[in-house]
Structure 1
Amino acid sequence: MFGFPIEAVIVAVFAAVAAGFVRGLAGFGLSVVLVPVLQLAIAPSAAVLVGIVSLFLIGLTDVKRIHRDADRSSAVPITLLALACMPLGMWALVALPPAWARMLIALVSLGAFVLVVVPLGKVAMPRRPAMALSGFFTGFFGGFAGMPGPGMAPFYLRGRLEPKVARASMMAIFLVLTPLSAVLFIWLDVGGWPEVELAALLFPAVLLGDWFGHRAFGRVSQRQWQVATALVLGGAAAGALWKLAG
């Protein structure tokens, strides 16, 4: 189906529901969940492009929420920096040996997790340098692994924005970055239309999971939301370290 084995498509559907739920609850994490699972069934570069297109499609459903709740004072500069740094990540994806790429993903994923779980108040950074670092890593990871979330999550989880504003701000950044990433992937022949078609096929499953995630978000406290998003980053770091050890 679409050039992929039917077994891979079945795995992708179940992964898409779980990834959609995480994204609806945390505001990010769709690619963090979806791409590692897809890599078990299809080529890594194909999995990255499917994750990017899926992020864009689900982002279109949240345009009103993004317009209402997003913090433009942080989302706009982080997006602009990410756009500038995204080609560097794509170059690294193509140029680096696989072992170095896996090590880099593991180290930065682990660093993002540590920055989130360190108690607030113990580590602090001025807002502008924090946004600059967030923009760089968001763009680099978006181009390198189709996972811009770990780059921006520490900034928004450690900031003083309420959860719905932080969540909408991350969604706004995804909505701008993902279509440009997908176009670059196809232009550089890293992926192609079969991956776009697979992402479209998976969209109803992502949408279903996202709907349940949005419902769960409305029932959790700020602390519970922070813990849930930290667990997403922790899972991504653990998966990256496991792949590195393997």
Structure 2
Amino acid sequence: MLEVFAPVLEVPGLIPMILAVLVGGIVMGFAGFGSGLIFFPVAAAFVSPHMVVTSFALTTIGSIFTVLPNAWRDCEKRRTITMVLPAFAGLLAGIFVLRYGDPVFLRWLITLLVLVTLVAMVLGWRRTVGETPRALASIGGAAGVVGGASGLFGPVVILFNLSGTAPARVTRANILTFLVIVSSSTIPILYLQGLYSVESFGLGLLFVPVYMIGTLFGQALFVPKYERHYRIVGYLIVAGAVLVGLPIWG
């Protein structure tokens, strides 16, 4: 088993990526979003988009145990399922783009998605689309396509949920439940598509306990009445990750 981790030690940017996973887990735990938004720009500065997506997908194994039970209890289940099912269909189309897309294009795509999401959240964007079954299914499908191509399932779903009127705890649970279920479903699909390498698999396994520690710590910090403060902290950390991961640095 230890031989799986040997190639990981040669991966560039290992320490920054581990720190990004830890911080992303903490922010995810208390704010309900942000792990991918923090990790992806940082990791994309060191490794290929394929390795970014495949390694981080494995962290959701930890989320199934640390995040999903509480989130499932608090989420709007019918609403969430309505979004999850179309996401699976969109996921296949997105993974096709990931597999055959240009790595430089995908890196810019990841960075711009994070940046647009951050700006929209900071400006307090509010949607005009109602939560009809068709709208929910469309958002889920769009998140699947974007997530399959870039690994970022969050932007579409985060913006849709945070721009609604549900209580903070329910909104947080809706986002977390969707992200954990859909993200974890990408693991076997990515494997069957031949996108996992020894390095990305070992890197992902290394991330799992780090992410679990982060999410547990973040959940312990969560107090609903301080939701606004959590969001501000999350925004600042995501902004820092975007600056670090800008493709202009090389």
Report Cα offsets for 1:83-136 as digits up to 9, x if no partner. 110111111112232344344434443443344334466x52222365244313
- Rounded to whole Å, the distance in 1 between the matches of 2:168 and 2:145 is 25
What is the CA–CA distance in structure 2 between the aligned matches of 1:223 and 1:207, rounded to whole Å?
24
- Farther-moved stretch of structure 1 (48-57 vs 197-206): 197-206
Q: Quick one: which of 165, 172, 175 aligns to 2:170?
A: 165
Task: Tell me which amino acid in the other structure corresponds to 1:205.
Answer: V
The TM-score with structure 1 as length reference comes to 0.83
Q: How many residue pairs are counted as aligned between the two chains?
A: 244
- Give the aligned partner of residue 7 of structure 2: 3
Q: Does 1:33 align with 2:21?
A: no
CA distance in 2, matches of 1:45, 1:120: 31
What's the offset of the Cα at 1:189? 1.1
Is 1:61 the counterpart of 2:66? The answer is: yes
1:124 and 2:128 aligned: yes
Q: Deviations over 1:36-87 (max 9, x none)?
A: 3233443331121111110232232223202310111321111112111011
Amino acid at match of 1:126: G
Report the alpha carbon displacement of residue 187 of structure 1 after superposing the two structures with TM. 1.0
- Check if 1:227 corresponds to 2:232: yes
Partner of 1:82 in structure 2? 87
Contact preservation (8 Å) 1:157, 1:166: yes
CA drift at 1:193: 5.1
- Deviation (angstroms), 1:146: 1.6
Question: What do you get for the CA RMSD once the two structures are aligned?
Answer: 2.8
Per the alignment, do residues 221 and 234 of structure 1 end up closer, same or farther by CA in structure 2, a change over 3 Å counting? same
**Counterpart in the other structure of 2:97:** 92
* Contact 2:37–2:114, Cα closer than 8 Å, also in 1: no
- Using the size of structure 2 for normalisation, the TM-score is 0.82
Conserved 8 A contact 2:8-2:202: no
The answer on whether the counterparts of 2:41 and 2:111 sit within 8 Å (CA) in structure 1 is: no
Unpaired stretches in structure 1, ≥5 consecutive residues: none
How many Å separate the matches in 2 of 1:68 and 1:185?
29
Structure 1 residues 232 and 133: CA distance shift in structure 2, 3 A: farther
2:29 maps to amino acid: G
Whole-Å separation in 1 of the counterparts to 2:7 and 2:148: 24
CA–CA separation in structure 2 for the residues paired with 1:15 and 1:157: 23
Query: Relative to structure 1, is the Cα distance of residues 63 and 109 closer, same or farther in structure 2, using a 3 angstrom cutoff?
Result: closer
Percent of aligned pairs with the same amino acid: 23
Q: Distance in 1 between matches of 2:241 and 2:41?
A: 9
1:146 aligns with 2:148: no
Q: Which blocks of at least 5 consecutive residues in structure 2 are unaligned?
A: none
Say if 1:56 and 1:73 are closer, same or farther in 2 by CA, change over 3 A: same
* Distance in 2 (alpha carbons) for counterparts of 1:13 and 1:111: 25
Q: Please tell me the residue identity of whatever aligns with 1:92.
A: V
- Asked if the contact 2:106–2:150 (Cα under 8 Å) also holds between the matched residues in 1, the reply is no
